[in-house]
Amino acid sequence: MDLRNQITDALKSAMRNKEAEKLSTLRLINAAIKDQDIAKRGEGDEGGVNDADVMSILTRMVKQRNESARAYDEGGRLDLAERERAEIAVIQAFLPKQLDEDEAKAAVLAAITETGAASIRDMGKVMGVLKARYAGQMDFGVVGPLVKDQLG
């Protein structure tokens, strides 16, 4: 079953079980997917949103909510920060398991070896391999400095 159908099924289940917070987050996800669908149609892409697009949307939503939660924490609005974290938990249920720090380092070393990267100039090749292989499984904002450290 594709990711979009999983989200729709979860939405229906949340409606049946009267899970208000989960339902609102799932509706936000659905709205973001539909927005992307409309944007693609406007560009002439009749294929619509695929699983990779949905993963990208979900990853972006998690990142936005992490930033919001951090801002709410700094502003002393713990109730709002907690709501953002609850939304993150719902969204992450549809994303693949995130690599921990050791797994990310191993992935970086494997990508460097595979591409034959020798200097910082080869960072783009390494990041390309990592993004193709680990989309949705690692935070590339954190991985970039790891790659730099290994190549620099």
Give the type of residue at 81: A
Q: What is the mean predicted confidence (pLDDT) over 13-23?
A: 95
CATH number at residue 59: 1.10.1510.10
Q: Are 76 and 122 members of one domain?
A: no
Q: Are 48 and 107 members of one domain?
A: no
Q: Are 80 and 133 members of one domain?
A: no
For 44, residues 6+ apart whose C-beta sits below 8 A from its C-beta are none
Q: How many domains does the chain have?
A: 2
Q: What is the mean predicted confidence (pLDDT) over 40-57?
A: 82
Q: Are 57 and 121 members of one domain?
A: no
Q: Is 136 a residue whose pLDDT tops 80?
A: no
53, 68, 92 - which closes a domain = 92
Q: Is 44 a residue whose pLDDT tops 90?
A: no
Percent of the chain past pLDDT 90, that is, above it, reads 43
Q: Are 40 and 83 members of one domain?
A: yes
68, 92, 116 - which closes a domain = 92
Alpha carbon 146 to chain centroid, angstroms: 19
43, 66, 92 - which closes a domain = 92
Q: Is 80 a residue whose pLDDT tops 90?
A: yes
Residue with token string 């292989």: 133
Q: Are 80 and 16 members of one domain?
A: yes
Instruction: State the Cα angle at 79 between 92 and 58, rounded to 5°.
Output: 20
Q: Which domain holds residue 37?
A: 3-92
Q: Are 11 and 65 members of one domain?
A: yes
Residue 137: per-residue pLDDT: 81
Question: Which contiguous run of DSSP H or E holds residue 109?
Answer: helix 101-115
Instruction: State the Cα angle at 60 between 57 and 63, rounded to 5°.
Output: 155
Residue 85: per-residue pLDDT: 96
Q: Which residues of 114-142 are buried (b: 16+ CB within 10 A; e: fewer)?
A: ebebeeeeebeebbebbeeebebbbeeee
pTM, two decimal places:
0.74
